[in-house]
Amino acid sequence: MMHVIKTVWVCTLCVWLGSASAASENTVSEDTIWLSSLDVSRIEQGWGQARSNRSVDNRRLMIAGQRYQNG
């Protein structure tokens, strides 16, 4: 019985640590530099025009269904 309790406790701890780690990945540190704060007028690319916080075809930024406000 004690082994089961230890196993449940360890699993709970792992889930808690994993969720805390995921939450910290979504925070922005104070030394973050958004790409959108940079001058995009000098960017050279194969097609289209570079835009801040937009895709090359002027759509909202999205990767695998996840929308992003900043680039």
Contact call for residues 70 and 62 (beta carbons, < 8 A): no
Cα–Cα distances in angstroms (integers) from residue 63 to residues 22, 29, 33, 68, in the given order: 18, 22, 20, 8
Token code pair at residue 12: 């709970």
Distance, in Å, from the CA atom of 49 to the CA atom of 39, rounded to the nearest integer, reads 13
The tens place of each residue's pLDDT in the chain, 71 residues long, gives 665 565 656 556 556 555 544 444 567 788 888 888 888 888 888 888 888 888 888 889 888 999 988 87
Select from 38, 41, 36, 39 the least CA-distant residue to 69. Answer: 36
